[in-house]
């Protein structure tokens, strides 16, 4: 009986500690990310998920993020622009640039604000 209570108490304490740290390894944010490369813009179909791939550099670190593309005419950042980006990691399927992707782990943009360089 004591072992069960110990495990429960340890689980609750660990869960509370994780909940209060605010760090989720599946989420990230970049404040001064410079767009270094951009994929082709996939045609919007309405039934296949589509993304534009952006390679960015922030504080000496390179990262690839996918910007959801779900409406024609939406402004997409150009190479050289500086952006603030919030993203999360997920398994995707669909069209990235001009390539078909199935079950790949990717950093997907949740929010992006850019300034032209």
Domains, the chain, in order of start with CATH, read 25-115 (2.40.50.140)
CA angle 73, 79, 85 (to 5 degrees): 80
CA angle 15, 17, 18 (to 5 degrees): 65
Is the pLDDT confidence value at 63 over 50?
yes
**pLDDT in the model for residue 117:** 62
In this structure, are strands 50-58 and 27-38 parallel, antiparallel, or unpaired? Answer: antiparallel
Q: What is the pTM of this model?
A: 0.76
CA angle 113, 31, 91 (to 5 degrees): 75
Instruction: Give the least confident one: 14-18, 60-64, 82-86.
Output: 14-18
Instruction: Answer with the residue of higher pLDDT: 76 or 20.
Output: 76
Spatial separation of the C-alpha atoms in residues 78 and 35, rounded to whole Å: 7
Report the pLDDT averaged over residues 73-91. 94
Instruction: Answer with the residue of higher pLDDT: 67 or 4.
Output: 67
**pLDDT in the model for residue 61:** 92
8-51 pLDDT, tens digit per residue, is 333 333 333 333 335 666 899 999 999 999 999 998 778 899 99
- Categorize the per-residue pLDDT at 4 as very low, low, confident or very high, splitting at 50, 70 and 90: very low
């Amino acid at each position: 009986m004591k072992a069960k209570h110990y495990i429960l108490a340890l689980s609750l304490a660990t869960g509370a500690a994780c909940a209060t740290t605010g760090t989720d390894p599946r989420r990230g944010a970049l404040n001064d990310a410079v767009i270094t490369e951009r994929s082709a813009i996939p045609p919007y179909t309405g039934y296949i998920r589509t993304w534009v791939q952006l390679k960015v550099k922030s504080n000496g670190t390179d990262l690839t993020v996918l910007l959801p593309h779900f409406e024609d005419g939406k402004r997409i950042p150009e190479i050289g622009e500086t952006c603030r980006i919030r993203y999360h990691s997920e398994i995707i399927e669909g069209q990235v640039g001009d390539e078909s992707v199935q079950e790949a782990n990717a950093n997907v943009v949740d929010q992006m604000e850019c300034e032209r360089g």
